[in-house]
């Protein structure tokens, strides 16, 4: 018989379930850039990004209300609301929504979703995670794939393709830093409240700009 997991310990996910969960995350992230490109015809980038993140933050707080959970995170996490809001929302979403305005949605989507590659390096530097041969190979192949996809797209006849590409890469980098920061903070049951408030704080700055 297999030993049952101890209380407080989660059973690791199977590789198949991990892959399915990754697809659930990746598909909407890839689809958001074409949607942003369409929406930019109706609103400027920062206003569009601010409205989207404000709505997202309010929805998360509504979920907490419906579940009768605390709306405000504990003190050690509350002090991170503004820094995370500026990093994970103001800069990440501001750059994300601005990038398709200067380059094609395809290149913005490719470069804007490179945060897993960045996270591999940051996790090794700040979380003590080991980069084995498999991760190193995946990192090299990922960088090569992104480069091969990006180079032809940068030759597109758009207004400022390099600026759009840099904005998309900046969005990925800031999202990766924010992910590693939240991982180090270990918010636990306060994850939704921390995320909701940082989205609202960052959205206010975006709307101000």
Check if the beta carbon of residue 99 is closer than 8 Å to that of residue 164. yes
Statement: residue 23 has pLDDT above 90: no
d(CA 73, CA 191): 8
Instruction: List pLDDT tens digits, range 99-148.
Output: 887 877 777 777 877 888 888 888 888 888 888 888 888 889 888 888 88
Rounded to the nearest 5°, which phi and psi values hold at 7?
-55, 135
pTM to 2 decimals?
0.80
Q: How confident is the model at residue 10 (pLDDT cuts 50, 70, 90)?
A: low
Chain center to CA of 204: 18
Domain locations in the chain?
Answer: 44-208
Using pLDDT thresholds of 50, 70 and 90, give the confidence band for residue 17.
Answer: confident
Question: What's the confidence (pLDDT) of residue 8?
Answer: 44
> 70: how many CB neighbours lie within 10 A of its CB?
11
Q: What percent of the chain has pLDDT over 90?
A: 43
Can you give the pLDDT at residue 9? 46
The Cα angle at residue 60 between residues 57 and 62, in degrees rounded to 5: 110
Which residues, in sequence order, are CB contacts of 136 under 8 Å at separation 6+?
none
How confident is the model at residue 195, as a pLDDT? 96
- Which of 116, 88, 90, 102 has the alpha carbon at shortest distance from 174? 88
DSSP-derived secondary structure for 81-124: HHHHIIIIIIIHHHHHHHHHHHS-HHHHHHHHT-HHHHHHHHHH
Q: Give the pLDDT score at 94.
A: 94
Residue 11 CA, distance from chain mean position? 26
Tokens of 162: 């390099």
């Amino acid at each position: 018989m297999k030993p049952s997991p101890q209380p407080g310990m989660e059973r690791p996910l199977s590789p198949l379930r991990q892959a399915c969960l990754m697809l659930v995350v990746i598909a909407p992230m890839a689809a958001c850039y074409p949607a942003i490109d369409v929406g930019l015809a109706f609103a400027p980038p920062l206003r569009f990004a601010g409205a989207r993140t404000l709505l997202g933050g309010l929805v998360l707080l509504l979920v907490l209300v419906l579940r009768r959970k605390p709306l405000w995170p504990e003190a050690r996490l509350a002090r991170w609301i503004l820094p995370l809001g500026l990093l994970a929302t103001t800069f990440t979403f501001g750059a994300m929504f601005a990038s398709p305005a200067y380059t094609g949605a395809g290149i913005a989507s490719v470069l804007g979703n490179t945060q897993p590659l960045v996270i591999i390096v940051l996790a090794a530097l700040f979380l003590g995670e080991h980069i084995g041969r498999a991760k190193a190979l995946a990192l090299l192949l990922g960088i090569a794939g992104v480069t091969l996809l990006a180079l032809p797209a940068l030759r597109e006849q758009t207004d400022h393709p390099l600026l759009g590409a840099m904005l998309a890469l900046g969005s990925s980098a800031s999202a990766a830093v924010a992910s590693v920061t939240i991982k180090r903070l270990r918010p636990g049951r306060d994850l939704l409240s921390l995320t909701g408030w940082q989205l609202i704080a960052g959205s206010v700055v975006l709307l101000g700009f």
